[in-house]
């Protein structure tokens, strides 16, 4: 199938991932694929495969969640060791508008939300781990960022990236920082980002470039060994998000000499304006 142009193959550590390449099929092959797909979609075998897929994705989510629930107390130190203590400042440069409504998605212990709060109007911080949210709540409270007297409202919510507890078109900016590689189904998470962004709103994505550290799957619940430029472009396009500019589509960040983890990239995407906007 790969030799015939039906599927694309991508290596993830010791795994090989296959996906149907509909864009690469000619007209007759595409018609054949659609006919076969329609005939097979309702069969018991395909339904069983879908159930197995859901079970596999659920297991990956549980591994990531277990890592965070058990390691919340040590997460900041581990994160600094891997990626450097100045990581968050690299994604703050564009936040100069004090009226912005910002989503800190997979907010962890609240470091980014704490640093963003003085610069924006409101922050909606979301994380699936109860332990991480407790740590974030303590940090935000210590910084005076919770309560009616806070200069910036920080709303801390429980939720997953695949099902964000945020209303449609509620955010001006969404941050997704070192989280997408933990998501079993990244396309679903980015589709949710599209939903919660207003037309013209921006996603600031920061994550790991491709690497071969297979042990991260087992020690930290990573579902993906980083993302390359082509993969990021495909995922964003599937989510109907477009690069904010050619230079921001995928940019490798300078290495921190104190960091021991893989290299990082930044990508800035936007939800397109509606036709009537």
Tens of pLDDT along 49-70?
Answer: 888 989 988 988 888 888 889 8
| Cα 106 to Cα 259: distance, rounded to the nearest angstrom | 21
Q: At what angle do helices 229-238 and 186-196 cross, to 10 degrees?
A: 50
Count Cβ atoms below 10 Å from residue 27 Cβ, excluding itself: 7
Q: Is the pLDDT of residue 225 over 90?
A: yes
C-beta separation of 204 from 241 below 8 A: no
Strand 15-20 with 7-12, pairing? antiparallel
Count Cβ atoms below 10 Å from residue 176 Cβ, excluding itself: 24
- The more confident residue out of 136 and 1 is 136
Mean pLDDT of 172-199: 96
Mean pLDDT of 194-205: 97
Place of tokens 């060994």: 225
Per-residue confidence (pLDDT) for residue 93, from 0 to 100: 43
Give the sign of the dihedral formed by CA 22, CA 24, CA 25, CA 26: positive
Per-residue confidence (pLDDT) for residue 151, from 0 to 100: 60
Q: Is the pLDDT of residue 126 over 90?
A: yes
pLDDT digits (tens, 9 = 90+) for 153-181: 789 999 999 999 999 999 999 999 999 99
| Cα 264 to Cα 246: distance, rounded to the nearest angstrom | 18
Q: Is the pLDDT of residue 257 over 70?
A: yes
Place of tokens 């990581």: 87
Give the sign of the dihedral formed by CA 171, CA 100, CA 174, CA 67: negative
Mean pLDDT of 112-138: 93
- CA dist list (Å): 267 to 46, 100, 186, 270: 35, 19, 15, 10
pLDDT band at 256, cuts 50/70/90? confident
List of residues 6+ apart from 210 with CB closer than 8 A: 225, 226, 227, 228
- CA dist list (Å): 275 to 59, 190, 200, 241: 40, 21, 11, 15
pTM above 0.85, yes or no: no
C-beta separation of 173 from 104 below 8 A: no
pLDDT digits (tens, 9 = 90+) for 65-91: 888 898 898 888 888 888 887 677 656
| Continuous segment of H or E residues that includes residue 242 | strand 242-243
Ramachandran region, residue 184 (left: φ > 0; alpha: ψ -120 to 50; beta: rest) = alpha
Closest CA to 182 of 158, 216, 214: 216
């Amino acid at each position: 199938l790969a030799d015939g142009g039906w599927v694309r193959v991508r290596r993830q550590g010791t795994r090989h991932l296959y996906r149907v390449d509909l864009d690469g099929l000619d007209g007759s092959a595409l018609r054949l694929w659609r006919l076969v797909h329609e005939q097979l979609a309702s069969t018991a075998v395909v339904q069983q495969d879908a159930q197995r897929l859901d079970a596999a994705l659920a297991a990956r989510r549980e591994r990531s969640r277990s890592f965070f629930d058990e390691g919340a107390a040590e997460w900041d130190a581990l994160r600094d060791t891997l990626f450097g203590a100045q990581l968050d400042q690299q994604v703050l440069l564009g936040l100069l508008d004090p009226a912005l409504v910002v989503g800190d998605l997979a907010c962890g212990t609240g470091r980014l939300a704490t640093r963003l709060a003085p610069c924006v109007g409101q922050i909606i911080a979301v994380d699936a781990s109860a332990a991480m949210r407790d740590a974030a709540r303590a940090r935000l409270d210590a910084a005076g960022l919770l309560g009616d007297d806070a200069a910036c409202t920080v709303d801390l919510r429980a939720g997953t990236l695949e099902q964000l507890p945020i209303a449609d078109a509620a955010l001006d900016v969404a941050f997704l920082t070192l989280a997408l590689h933990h998501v079993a189904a990244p396309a679903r998470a980015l589709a949710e980002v599209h939903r919660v962004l207003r037309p013209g709103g921006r996603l600031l994505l920061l994550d790991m470039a491709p690497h071969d550290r297979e042990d991260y799957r087992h020690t930290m619940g990573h579902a993906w060994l980083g993302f390359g430029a082509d993969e990021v472009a495909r995922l964003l396009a599937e989510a109907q998000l477009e690069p904010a500019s050619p230079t921001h589509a995928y940019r490798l960040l300078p290495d921190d000499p104190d960091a021991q983890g893989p290299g990082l990239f930044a990508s800035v995407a936007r939800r397109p304006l509606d036709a009537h906007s």
